[in-house]
Amino acid sequence: MNETTPSIAIRTSKQRITQTDIEQLFEVIVDEARRDIAAALEHADNPRRSPRPTDPRVAAVASAADGLPTRTRKALLAGRGALTDRRLRMPRRLTNLAALADVGRGPAATQPHTQLRLRLRHIECVQDTREPGKDEILVGGQSTMLTVSPDGLLGEPLDAGAVAPIALGKFKSGDERDLDLVVGRFSLNGAAPYPRIFNTTLVMIEKDLGDPAKLVKLLESIQAVLEQKLIDKVQSFLEGLDGDDKFGAVIGLVVTLLPVAISALIGAVGKLVGDEVFRPFAAALSMQSPDALFPGGKTDSADDVAQFADFGGTYRVGYDFALA
């Protein structure tokens, strides 16, 4: 690869974070993560010639790749060079700002809630894929939580669990149906400090894949690598900021960068295995305390839409966040 690795500058409290800064951070985070993932896949393909990664997160990617069904594994390893052949660009789609709103600026609940859930409410097949016949669609979710200390430091990502891909039915262009599914679930209790940042990555799969649960395990391991890169780079980028400035900037950068980085990198890996894995959609928000409410004093967010567009097909999935 002839491209140079992008460098990153440090912010000070007298400098404002710009869109260029966000794009630069995205490049650095994704560039380093994809190199690590390519190394993990190289080890999975040639364990005698390529050393096992020393970072346990990267090693988990290699192990997950080894566990894939034979056809999927071969396709992934054969195409791994595409991960480093060219730089991944930041997707134009950003998570809707309403979903990124800082939950907790309005009135507080009379009693703290115990859970935050991401619910799927509706699915619409705008255009089915190029595959013959109807699309058999499954959707799953992988959830993680990050904490922010009072001095603006990010904690280790906490795995909030995964929901294996759920069959939503068969679809052709124009089909739609209501849903009532929870694919992300976060505990609001425990000793972890607030504010907390919650992220759920939605993965849409066409059933031709075979065993989607094993692929989802691979995507989860890749997301773990990406999350750690994001933490490291955001902390470095903001180390010149003072307390309050740093505190707010950390939250803003994480909820902005994490969804688009996941979409770009996991989407690129998914395409290596064939025309069955759509580019994922990630939704994130921050919450100041367990008694926080959504704008207007509500216990659920405004409805939002996750769009999946690949392989000639386009699906729109309505979702929201809800407190319980």
- pLDDT over 60 at 143, yes or no: yes
Instruction: Tell me what the mean pLDDT of segment 253-277 comes to.
Output: 84
Is pLDDT larger for residue 150 or for residue 263? Answer: 263
Q: Which of 27, 29, 53 is nearest to 40 (CA)?
A: 53
Residue the block writes with tokens 């976060």: 186
Out of 13-27, 31-45, 193-207, 286-300, pick the least confident: 13-27
- pLDDT over 80 at 131, yes or no: yes
Q: Answer yes or no: are the C-beta atoms of 288 and 177 closer than 8 Å.
A: no
Say what the pLDDT of residue 170 is.
95
Q: pLDDT of 60-116, one tens digit each?
A: 999 999 998 888 899 899 988 888 887 888 876 544 433 333 444 556 667 788 999
What are the φ and ψ backbone dihedral angles of 259, each rounded to 5 degrees? -60, -40
SS3 of 158, please?
A: strand
Say what the pLDDT of residue 103 is.
47
* pTM (2 d.p.): 0.83
Q: In what order do the strands lie in the sheet with 158-171?
A: 158-171, 135-147, 196-206, 281-287
Instruction: Tell me what the mean pLDDT of segment 179-190 comes to.
Output: 94
Rounded to the nearest angstrom, the gap between the alpha carbon of residue 154 and the centroid of all alpha carbons in its chain is 17
Q: pLDDT of 46-57, one tens digit each?
A: 999 999 999 999
Q: Which of 212, 222, 241, 240 is nearest to 282 (CA)?
A: 222
Spell 243-274 as b/e; 16+ CB within 10 A means b.
eebbbbbbbbbbbbbbbbbbbbbbbbbbbbbb
